[in-house]
Structure 1
Amino acid sequence: MIEFGDDIREVFLQPGGFYFGGGRTRISTLLGSCISITLWHPARRIGGMCHFMLPTRGQPAGAPLDGRYADEALALFDRAVATAVSQPADYQVKVFGGGNMLTHPGNGAEPMNIATRNVDSAYALLARHGYRPTVAHCGGQGHRKLFFDLWTGHVWLAHRPPGEAA
């Protein structure tokens, strides 16, 4: 976490990262095939972001939640929302990522597309947990960079498909 001018706190999420809070906090991350979900409560100006890598690990009994997995990242959101004495329907939900980072091997075989599996699991889990995304930028190819300001709810996205000039 970095603090800089105007009392803005910068939080960068690595893969598996999760943050939920408020105030003048900017959360950022870089995505390839991973997914980030943002939640923002417009009345209370609180929210969070996750950065998951895979749909599930089949959580061992008693193991702590691990944000690297979609199902466990949603459980972390559920815990934070309950702690904030709020409901999933209170939040604006946005979903980003799932860019295919692999090229076809050239032998006609399809590569294992973890990006598609991540996108599909994100939507299925959000619906199961009662979150309704209103904005999404998922799939395709290339990297995404996200910035999420908790004091406004604004999310900025930079998406650079492979081969596109800077």
Structure 2
Amino acid sequence: MSGPGPATRDIFLRPGEWYFGSGAVRLRTTLGSCVAIVLWHPRLKLGGMCHYMLPNRSDRGSQPLNGRYADEALELLLGEVRRSHTQPGDYEFKLFGGANMFPSGQRRPDDVPARNVAEALALMHEHGLPVKAQSLGGEGYRQLVFDLESGALWMRQGHEPAPHGTP
């Protein structure tokens, strides 16, 4: 992959962040137990990504939508889809992450990675959104780079600690 051109904006999404747009933008993130939902409209070259940490929160009340939670992050992205006068079914959806970050076979009692993966798949089914590609579960981090101009997505999966400076 060549480096971004002079007009390409690189945006690194941290846990709980999301982005939707078009043009010369590359979205980047590093995932462990978190999950990224990526969507792209191939004809309009419009898309986005979220990086959520947890499947949902028990009581949102009147609080605004928060990208840290799967259901709310997807709702934020779908809100942008509606504002762009497009339909969710016109987009390609891809799912990444939900890895066990503990040494071989050890699991946390709350098993957040498995819950994050299950929620991503359930949300896609609930909204009738076909998943074009996925890399979910397993062990180790995943680094993603998503080019909004071309729709190209690169993924690197590692089993050593995530590179310095990434969450």
Normalising by structure 2, report the TM-score: 0.88
User: Which residue in 2 is equivalent to 1:15?
Assistant: 15
> Partner amino acid for 1:153?
G
* Residues 37, 51 of structure 1: 8 Å contact kept: yes
Alignment of 1:1-166 (within 5 A): 5-103=5-103, 111-162=109-160
> Partner amino acid for 2:21?
G
Pairwise CA RMSD: 1.9
Moved more, 58-67 or 14-23: 58-67
Unaligned runs of 5+ in 2: 162-167
Point out 4+ residue stretches in structure 1 off by more than 3 angstroms.
103-106
Normalising by structure 1, report the TM-score: 0.89
Question: Against the structure 1 CA distance between its residues 49 and 105, is the aligned structure 2 distance closer, same or farther, given a 3 Å change threshold?
Answer: closer
Question: Against the structure 1 CA distance between its residues 136 and 41, is the aligned structure 2 distance closer, same or farther, given a 3 Å change threshold?
Answer: same
* Residues 81, 88 of structure 1: 8 Å contact kept: yes
C-alpha displacement at 1:61, in angstroms?
A: 2.6
* Residues 70, 121 of structure 1: 8 Å contact kept: yes
3-state DSSP class of the match of 1:127?
A: helix
* Residues 74, 126 of structure 1: 8 Å contact kept: no
